[in-house]
Amino acid sequence: MRHDPIPSRLFRHNRDRLRARLGKQALAVVNANDQLPTNADATQMLAPNSDLFYLTGIEQEETILVLAPEAFDPKQREILFLRESSEHLRTWEGHKLSKTEARALSGIDRVEWLSAFPVLFRQLMCEADQVCLNSNEHRRAVIEVETRDARFIRETQAAYPLHHYRRLAPLMHQLRLEKSEDEIELIRRACEITRQGFRRAVRKLKPGVNECELEAELAHEFIRQRARFAYPPIIASGASACILHYLQNDQPCRGGDLVLLDVGASYANYNADLTRTVPVSGRFTRRQRAVYDSVLHVLRALTQTAMPGVLHRDWQRQGEALMTEELLKLGLLKPAEVRKQDPDNPACKKYFMHGVGHPLGLDVHDVGSPREPFAPGWVLTVEPGLYIPEEGFGIRLENDIVVTNEGPIDLMADVPIEPDEIEALMRR
């Protein structure tokens, strides 16, 4: 565990919220992710299962959480199963959690080794009427490899075909959208590390510096602060900024160009997501400044309208309408194009083709339903952009905000964003 310990009250609170939604005689099971292979005999670093971490704080492979709130035996109502260590594992893989350590991290009193799972699980299944099993139901997920969850579902349904099975994912999505104060503090910490990484990278920036050198500065700061990249960073100079998911990060930054930095730190599995666009030579040209001001204007407006009760669909439409106005001012769209546009495919999409923002949390594109209106405790990104290939540059700006009844809280408020601030930072 690279990050500082998290108080177990966070995970107790999360399990309490889930228990309240499970229903009568329900049993819920949450598995760790698989450790995926690379080439030959190697494996990737384990990506902790977000739902399992949300409920337990455990980041170890093969872990299983079982919740049975109405089990006859009170000691069977909440059980954590762990992979048991051995001399062989200690030699080859290092430390594995002891039962005492897992209790302290998760706040779960009963911790068992995985060898005890089959018998205990059968006892609980014989009592349960409803069985809530998990799967990845993110709307944008592309699943090509069978997951541990999918195998567990298949095996459980084959062994117990007469139970009533329910999807756990919709419940988890509802719970995870609304962040507690403890969660917001962890995201705030990720944002602070991101801020420091951004400032470090900008100090390195000058004509001739390679994009990968800026990535290295970010990596240095993130790792130094016990964090990691939340996602592969985008360091895109010149026309590469018009590629939304540019990942090469291997081109020189040329004088007169802009460089777009879309980066975020992940601290304790909670993520930040920041985008800034800065001039390589230290000053925006008049045209760059005009486009930058338009994007910043839309970001400011969308931030203020991210209020409880707003649907993401309506927020997106508002962003597209605002961007259309800016594109008319910039001469990139003509009034006739706007009058003739298809409402389902507005003319602004030629230069602004992505969403205005998304939920943020344990996943960068965090779980949630577009049918749910914004509510207090949601954490959102706000990320308008304009991409002009014919002029050789793109500009995107992105902040992370907390939705509250009193108005949004900007978690990136101390990261320079005004063009004069950016130029002053470059001079220093």
Query: 324 falls in which pLDDT band (50, 70, 90)?
Result: very high
CATH 3.40.350.10 spans which residues of the chain?
9-176
| Residue 359: C-alpha distances to residues 25, 274, 341, 380, 424 (Å) | 32, 13, 29, 4, 31
Q: Which residues pair with 67 in a beta bridge?
A: 28, 78
Query: 178 falls in which pLDDT band (50, 70, 90)?
Result: very high
What is the reported pLDDT for 301? 98
Q: Specify whether 358 is catalytic.
A: yes
Q: Specify whether 297 is catalytic.
A: no
Residue 337's CB is within 10 A of a number of other CB atoms, namely 16
Q: Specify whether 387 is catalytic.
A: yes
What is the reported pLDDT for 348? 98
What is the reported pLDDT for 240? 98
Reference 48, options 62, 67, 28; nearest CA is 62
What is the reported pLDDT for 101? 97
| Residue 129: C-alpha distances to residues 149, 152, 162, 197, 198 (Å) | 20, 18, 9, 51, 52
Tokens (6 digits) for 88? 């062989």
Q: Which is catalytic among the residues 160, 354, 391, 423? A: 354
Residues in the chain, total:
428
Q: Which is catalytic among the residues 78, 192, 211, 262? A: 262
Condensed to tens digits (0 to 9), the pLDDT of residues 329-345 reads: 999 999 999 999 998 89
Residue 91's CB is within 10 A of a number of other CB atoms, namely 8
pLDDT more than 70, % of the chain: 100
How far, in Å, CA of 329 to CA of 350, rounded?
15
Q: Specify whether 354 is catalytic.
A: yes
Span between the terminal Cα atoms of the chain, in Å: 36
What is the reported pLDDT for 56? 98
How far, in Å, CA of 12 to CA of 339, rounded?
55
Tokens (6 digits) for 119? 């018998």
Burial of 421 from C-beta contacts in 10 A (0-12 / 13-18 / 19+): exposed
What is the reported pLDDT for 315? 98
Q: Which is catalytic among the residues 149, 366, 383, 400? A: 383
pLDDT more than 90, % of the chain: 96
Q: Which is catalytic among the residues 217, 365, 366, 400? A: 365
Tokens (6 digits) for 210? 């390679």
Query: CATH classification of 9-176 is 3.40.350.10, yes or no?
Result: yes
- 270 φψ region: left (φ > 0), alpha (ψ -120 to 50), beta (else): beta
Query: CATH classification of 181-427 is 3.90.230.10, yes or no?
Result: yes
- Which one-letter amino acid corresponds to residue 152? F
Q: Specify whether 173 is catalytic.
A: no
**Average per-residue pLDDT for the chain:** 97
Q: Which is catalytic among the residues 245, 287, 418, 421? A: 245
What is the reported pLDDT for 281? 96
- Which one-letter amino acid corresponds to residue 237? S
> 175 and 17 in contact (C-beta within 8 Å)?
yes
- Which one-letter amino acid corresponds to residue 108? I
Q: Which is catalytic among the residues 83, 257, 387, 400? A: 387
- Which one-letter amino acid corresponds to residue 199? R
Q: What is the mean pLDDT of residues 230-249?
A: 98
CATH 3.90.230.10 spans which residues of the chain?
181-427
> 387 and 394 in contact (C-beta within 8 Å)?
yes
Condensed to tens digits (0 to 9), the pLDDT of residues 366-390 reads: 998 889 999 999 999 999 999 999 9
> Each residue of 353-364: b (16+ CB within 10 Å) or e?
eeebbbbbbbbb
- Which one-letter amino acid corresponds to residue 46? L
Q: Specify whether 383 is catalytic.
A: yes
Q: CB under 8 Å to 363, separation ≥6 — which residues?
A: 50, 138, 271
Q: Is the pLDDT of residue 215 over 90?
A: yes
- Helix or strand (DSSP H, E) at 326: helix 312-329
DSSP 8-state symbol, 44: P
Reference 376, options 402, 404, 401; nearest CA is 404
What is the reported pLDDT for 428? 78
> 374 and 177 in contact (C-beta within 8 Å)?
no
DSSP 3-state assignment of 69? Answer: coil
Q: Is the pLDDT of residue 408 over 80?
A: yes
Query: 151 falls in which pLDDT band (50, 70, 90)?
Result: very high
Q: Is the pLDDT of residue 28 over 80?
A: yes
Q: Which is catalytic among the residues 246, 358, 363, 366? A: 358
DSSP 8-state symbol, 398: B
Q: Is the pLDDT of residue 1 over 90?
A: no
Q: What is the mean pLDDT of residues 409-421?
A: 98
Q: Is the pLDDT of residue 2 over 90?
A: no
